[in-house]
Amino acid sequence: MPVQYSGALQEHLAVRKAVGVFDVSHMGEIEVRGEDALPFLQRVTCNDVSRLGDQQAQYSALLYPQGTFVDDILIYRFARNHFLICVNAANREKDYDWMLKHRSGSVSVEDTSDRYVQLAIQGPRAADVLQQLTPLQLSTIKNYRFAVGPVCDVECIVSRTGYTGEDGFELYLPPSAAEKIWRALFEAGKEVGIQAAGLAARNTLRLEVRYPLYGNDIDETTTPLEAGLGWIVKLSKEEDFIGRQALESQKSEGVRKQLAGFEMVDSGIARDGYRVFFDSCETVVTSGSYSPSLERAIGLVYLPPERAVPGEEIAVEIRGRKRQARVVETPFYKK
């Protein structure tokens, strides 16, 4: 995925104001099928898969026994015995091996990533553009729902999901049709200023709405409760799941760190990995950037719960100098 096409700032604003297209074919897809597909996914994920209806999607996670992230994932249910799992590119093999390791019963787990190209059409004009290419009634596809049908006469999965905080769709399509559909999207969207968008814009868009990035904000050292993702942990579901005991203990005892948002008070941009100081302690920025929508520098950092409160002051080391920053409410950007 290119870092940028025409420029990160231009691409970011195109998604916020009109429509942008991301080629996110690097993401991985794992299909789970079989009579025991549902109970298997209930064991290996922390959300409650039984709540899903057909053609519905769910944000969830694969967890280690200590309650930390193997990966954050998106689960698509086609039927009770057929699910598609979208995983992060860098974790594709790890996730697949983890699921195979914990497979039991009548269930098959297959890495089908090479069968799909994934395009994300995101922005307030996304539906207007995509509707020109499909007979599917996009207005009937609600958030975190999907349909299977023709786009440019090619059968695709059309999902109302995304990673930008804007309305939009993610298409899963055969690689042989990728160029055809890509070109058709840009022809249909030229009057509204459609832009190809790269990795840099994807990062600033997701940061503004506080969507976590695996490897930065969440990883094998952090739990969903620490990351502010407790809503995907369903401790009330009947089935036991990997990591449940650790998360029950952490919820009872309280977290020792919490992911918080901050904005710079002094000049400078806090980048990923920059040192953060508070009291006599030190940590690092997990994600940090200039926010094109808000026109100020923002970031995420893990802090003790008592310091992860809006108004608390921290210091970020930028080019050898400590610069003042302040904890703020998130998401940073709201529609």
pLDDT tens-digit map of 259-298: 999 999 999 999 999 999 999 999 999 999 999 999 999 9
Mean pLDDT for all residues in the chain: 98
0.85 exceeded by the pTM? yes
Of the candidates 194, 39, 200, the residue with the CA atom closest to the CA atom of residue 126: 194
Spatial neighbors of 67 by CB under 8 A, at least 6 apart, are: 223, 224, 225, 243, 246, 247, 250
Cα angle 183, 184, 190; round to 5: 90
**172 within 8 A of 121, measured Cβ to Cβ:** no
Among 263, 264, 269, which residue's Cα sits nearest to residue 319? 269
pLDDT tens, residue by residue, 169-198 = 999 999 999 999 999 999 999 999 999 999
Sketch out the chain's domains with CATH numbers: 8-25+116-207 (3.30.1360.120), 28-114 (3.30.70.1400), 256-335 (2.40.30.110)
Question: Distance (Å, rounded) from C-alpha 215 to C-alpha 203?
Answer: 13
What's residue 40's pLDDT?
Answer: 98
pLDDT at 226: 98
pLDDT in tens, 217-226: 999 999 999 9
Please tell me the total number of residues recorded for the chain in this structure: 335
Q: Where residue 212 falls among pLDDT bands split at 50, 70, 90?
A: very high
**Which tens digits make up the pLDDT trace of 239-257?**
999 999 999 999 999 999 9
Q: Mean pLDDT, to the nearest integer, of 145-165?
A: 98
How is 216-230 classified by DSSP, letter by letter?
A: TTBSTT--TTTTT-G
Over residues 303-326, mean pLDDT = 98
Residue 335 has pLDDT above 90, yes or no: no
Q: Give the pLDDT confidence score for residue 43 in this predicted structure.
A: 98
Q: What is the mean pLDDT of residues 25-38?
A: 98
Mean pLDDT across the stretch 10-39?
Answer: 98
How sure is the predictor about 1, in pLDDT bands with cuts at 50, 70 and 90? confident
Share of the chain above pLDDT 90, in %: 99
What is the rounded average pLDDT of the residues 25-46?
98
